[in-house]
Chains A and B, each alone.
Chain A
Amino acid sequence: MSASVSLTDVAQAFPGRERARLALEGISLDIEPGQFVCVVGPSGCGKSTLLDLVAGHTRPARGSVEVDGTTVKGPGLDRVMVFQDHALFPWMSVADNVGFGLKNAGIPAAEREATVATWLSKVGLTDAAALHPHQLSGGMRQRAALARAFAMKPQVLLMDEPFSALDAPSRDRLHVELQQLWADTETTIIFVTHNVREAVALGDRVIVLSSGPGRIIGDVPVTLTRPRVVESERVVSVAHQVRRLLDEADQLGITTPREGGDSYVAI
């Protein structure tokens, strides 16, 4: 249940006040089926635009975006997005939220309920099935959003900074859980984040983007054994390598402050 994603010489522009502003330029990227790819870069470098292109919410100004060898023409149930702000429907119970996509896919009620129950138990929300999103903690909401996405058995899962609004303990737990879910389903994941350590902890590969317009300036393979946690020394040392790439590109003219060469600032 996974598909390859390939972008060929993709450029994307947004209409500006006087002239179009380039968000992405010359992006070529091949992602194998089942690969977990993280994309890092400074804010405004076009990370989210990259996801939108694969999701089919927008079309590229130039170049082509293909999923499983077919050009992306619009949103589809084979590509599901997880948002930074959980984007659960506030008027639905957690169970109804998780079952929403399945219902649209035309899955019969009995099968749908079984799938929803399975995924709620996988993310530890069985007891919260009847609650509404506002009755959950931030971590639980994002878990519900993960269950909603994974329940669709997507070929490609697109994640737009899904954990950046969470507290550190919740985030650490979800990192581990996400790696397990990914290992179980073998889906292709494109995970966008501004947190370099998070990218290294989760990804098979870390794509480094520069800003204005976004260009690929690094493609760092991560071969550490899983599950990984953000604090581990091996993760931190690879993260430094990624950091250096960002520093060399000297994004926004700011070099990351380093005290004794060891401090770490996520941008």
Chain B
Amino acid sequence: MSRSDVELTTEQSVQARSRAPWWKASAPILITGVVLLIVWAGLALFVDTLPGPGETASELGRMAADGQLWSIFGRITVFMTVCFVIAAVGGVALGLLLGSRKRLDRGLSPYLAALQGMPTSMWIPVAAVVLGTSPWSLAAVVSIGAMPAIMLGTRSAVANVPPLLIRAGRTFGADGGNLLRNVVLPAALPGIMTGLELGWSIAFRCLVAGEIFSGALSGTGIGEVIQRSRDTGELTEMMATIMIVLAFTLIVDRLVFARVQLRLRVSRGLIDTGLPH
């Protein structure tokens, strides 16, 4: 290994990979988007009840003009961020606890797996009615709903940490909380991230299921749109709202999850950056 190679840091090697201009890097995403729009337009020609991209776009324009678009977008962001942060902190903490306590894991894991496998739309109405129909109660439902997936993901990630790293940690004086924080948690982080992504999508499902089935309000406005569409049978506003939610999840995936995953992989040498081995 020559000197010049040694001076190349991890950050620089990542930069080298992403040096392509943004329009070139995001071209595949845009092309796929255009193809999907064409498919949608084609379907709308044959299905009378389905609003086409043109109508939806003009509805989006109206919603943007009277502020409804920004209001829905902003309220989704606030609601989902708060709920997800609570679910993530609670889920990871409980998952680490499960990973380090064998008996607790034995007792709880089967039920958590069952909860995760069951469709959320089945228990959401019950939970939402029991907890009430305020935004706070739906926030609790969403946070709790996302937790099993995050807990199970964290627990499996902890179980998959190579024992050699744990032995190395113990040999070099890490024990108890220190070992958990400085060895187990970073070693399990890629697996924990997978659990978090799963939890994120389940949280969104819980939100919409709560709005539809129990009349509980998240305050995001999605429920009102659903109610109006149901009453009138007019789907344009619904499609426009779907587009807003789609844009929101796409942005979160690209700006948060995809980036964090890339960083984790690069720092652990899971991406071939072309350096000598």
Contact = CB atoms under 8 A, between A and B. Distances in A.
Interface of A: 55, 57, 75, 77, 80-81, 83, 85, 87-92, 100-101, 104-105, 127-128, 130-137, 140, 148, 152
A135 B172 contact: no
Nearest to A88: B168
Interface string B259-277: 0000000011100000111
Contacts of A105: 173
A85 B164 contact: yes
A117 to B, nearest CB: 16
Contacts of A87: 164-165, 167-168
B232 interface: no
Which DSSP category, helix, strand, loop or mixed, fits chain A's interface?
loop
Interface in B158-202: 164-165, 167-175, 178, 182-183, 186-187, 189
Contact of B172 (A90, A134, A152): A152
A134 B269 contact: yes
A94 B173 CA distance: 18
B3 A132 contact: no
Contacts of B183: 89
Given A101-B173, A127-B7, A135 B164 contact: no
Contacts of A131: 6, 9-10
Main secondary structure of the interface of B (DSSP, over half): helix
B216 to A, nearest CB: 41
B114 interface: no
Interface residues of B, number: 29
Contacts of B1: 136-137, 140
A100 B178 CA distance: 11
Given A91-B186, A127-B3, A132 B10 contact: yes
A78 to B, nearest CB: 10
Contacts of B268: 90-91, 132, 134
Contacts, number: 76
Contacts of A130: 9
A91 B172 contact: no
A91 B267 contact: yes
A258 B171 CA distance: 41
B247 to A, nearest CB: 33
Nearest to A85: B164
Nearest to A105: B173
A57 B167 contact: yes
Contacts of B174: 100, 104
A130 to B, nearest CB: 6
Contact of B170 (A57, A91, A128, A140): A57
Contacts of A83: 164, 167-168
A133 B269 contact: yes
Given A87-B164, A91-B267, A135 B275 contact: yes
A85 B168 CA distance: 11
Contacts of B276: 137
Given A87-B165, A135-B10, A140-B1, 10 more contacts: A75-B170, A77-B173, A88-B168, A91-B268, A101-B172, A104-B172, A127-B7, A135-B275, A148-B172, A152-B172
